[in-house]
Chain A
Amino acid sequence: MKFRCEREQLVEALGTAGRAVSSRGGSLPVLAGLRLELAGNQLTVTGSDLDLTISAQIEVAGDADGVAVIPSKLVADVVRAMEPGAVQVTVAEGDAEIAAGRSDFTLRTIPAEEFPQIAGAEGDAVTLDAEQFADALKQVVPAASSDDSRPILTGVLLAAEPAGLRLVATDSYRLAVRDLPGTTVLDEGQQVLVPSRALSELARLLSAGGAVTLRLGEREASFDVDGVVLTTRLIEGDFPNYRGLIPESHPNSLTINRSELLDAVRRVRLLAQESTPVRLSMSPDGLELIAMTQDVGQAHEALDAAYDGDELTVAFNPDYLLNGIDVSAGDEIRLETVDALKPAVLRTVGDDDFLYLLMPVRVS
């Protein structure tokens, strides 16, 4: 295999595909490498940890077709360290020579035949608006759990609803639900559970805008974004019945400017250390935020807000509260509560497409 290309192009392809390579190693040492396949002028760089596979395609000046697997981190570091300009890669007899300017590196390759064949999803292609989908992922993915002991909760549910596509994630402390009206990806009643890690990586790829093409197979999903294909295994199992968790009515409702609340929680959170919560004291006079950490200090901040309901103090995990406020859209948000121990709902005023359900923290 032999090709030439611009350093920046190769750095980007290696970096993108390298995000699927596990840093922890695993049962297959070959997965610590990136698979480079050259066919004509098309170079495909693939990284995988078997659950997530990312392939990035770039145009290069191809000289001799071939396939090689090169240690992921090392090749990325070497190419990134080269002088800007053209880079030439030549693979022969188990060595990959990477040359640019007066620099010349030789890296041992990993036998390419050991790299597993990873099939992409074969379902029908559906094209989604990348910006809208990225926006939905940004709102929902953070609410998924990172605790591998409950794999179901590490996924984001994609479900067909009568009005369109729904994305749902929960880590059991909070729940994020986002509707994409008019988006038809799944068959009626169909739902799939996509690992949140894959969707986080997808969100990175979508930041450039454009369109994303989705293919759903029985066990995997593929997302094609501007020459990069991300394939992920789907999570098997039943997602919790989240509908029953959303209270039907809330006697208390606080309406407040979103950015003012966001800034205030960020400030007050500085004194919510060692897993202590932030208290929201709500009354017709407005909202007071309180955080206190024993032996450290306390913070108070008063905010103007419209409140309808009984005077109530509810405490929340500051990170979860902040995330909910941060990912909500719009200038004004509404916090709906029942009491200090029941789930609260955060919504954007005038927008029913996103809902963030948040469990309080019990305080004395």
Chain B
Amino acid sequence: MRLVIARCQVDYDGRLTAHLPMALRLIMVKADGCVAVHADGGAYKPLNWMNAPNRLVEESGRWTVTSPKGEQLVITIAEIISDTGHDLGVDPGLQKDGVEAHLQELLAATPTTIADDLTLVRREFPTDIGPVDLLCRDGDGRAVAIEIKRRGEIDGVEQLTRYLEFLNRDAALRPVRGVFVAQEIKPQAKVLAGQRDIDWVVVDYDELRGMPSNELRLF
């Protein structure tokens, strides 16, 4: 990653023409060839940029960035204030929050949050079409398959329905009933679950992990 602070003027010629008058700016040249010109404001969007692949030709006081489509970004540099480079290495990628996995972990530890009489048999219980999140037994010893989602939508009910179909083929388990668990469940998903004799339970993630909820109660 090369970071150049420079007083510069930028002219773009491609799908349209754009001109940035002479001013102090940050020019980012990324390892993959992206070139972006930033002002000192705005969260993420550059004033002008050229996506990789590009060809950058540096001449005295003038950089020319050309894309394979013929677009051209010409940066006329009057003064370079700073020019530094850093090797950032391989990016590990965006990690989405692990709410769903953490919910599964928390509910596996306390399945009674879902129903008073549940005891855990196994997390990630395997079926031929993939693992169901939790397999439990209820107070009468009957198997209960639990699918956990952050947002409970119709897809989740469909998924649990497929798991139940496979689990109910196992003579050692059947009859297996299903419980759909989520932080919030869409009305359509509730209706579909009801039609398929699947119970649904809404859980409070913050409460499960011992954090005070922002939703204040009257009592």
Contact = CB atoms under 8 A, between A and B. Distances in A.
B218 A173 contact: yes
Contacts of B151: 274
A249 interface: no
A341 B151 CA distance: 27
B197 A361 contact: no
Contact of B197 (A25, A170, A275, A362): A25
B217 interface: yes
A362 B214 contact: yes
Contacts of B195: 23
Nearest to A24: B197
A361 B217 contact: no
Contacts of B214: 277, 361-363
Contacts, number: 41
Interface in B93-144: none
Band of interface residues on A:
20 to 34
B215 interface: yes
Given A275-B183, A275-B184, A245 B197 contact: no
Interface residues of B, number: 14
B183 A360 contact: no
Is chain A's interface secondary structure helix, strand, loop, or mixed overall? loop
A359 interface: yes
Interface in A318-364: 341, 343, 357, 359-363
A24 B218 contact: no
Nearest to B151: A274
A25 B177 CA distance: 12
Contact of B219 (A23, A172, A275, A361): A172
Most buried by B among A25, A275, A363: A275
A34 interface: no
Contact of B218 (A275, A317, A359, A363): A359
Contacts of A23: 194-195, 197
A101 interface: no
Interface string B161-192: 00000000000000000000001100000000
Nearest to A342: B216
A175 B194 contact: no
Contacts of B199: 24
A240 interface: yes
Contact of A245 (B183, B184, B218): B218
Contacts of A174: 218
Interface string B204-219: 0000000000111111
A162 B200 CA distance: 42
19 contacts: A23-B195, A24-B194, A24-B199, A25-B197, A147-B202, A172-B217, A172-B218, A173-B216, A173-B218, A175-B218, A245-B218, A277-B214, A317-B215, A343-B218, A357-B218, A361-B215, A362-B214, A362-B215, A362-B216
Given A23-B195, A24-B194, A359-B218, 11 more contacts: A23-B197, A170-B218, A173-B217, A240-B219, A277-B214, A317-B215, A360-B216, A361-B216, A362-B214, A362-B215, A363-B214
Interface of B: 151, 183-184, 194-195, 197, 199, 202, 214-219
Instruction: List 3 tightest A-B contacts by C-beta distance, closest first.
Output: A362-B214, A172-B217, A359-B216
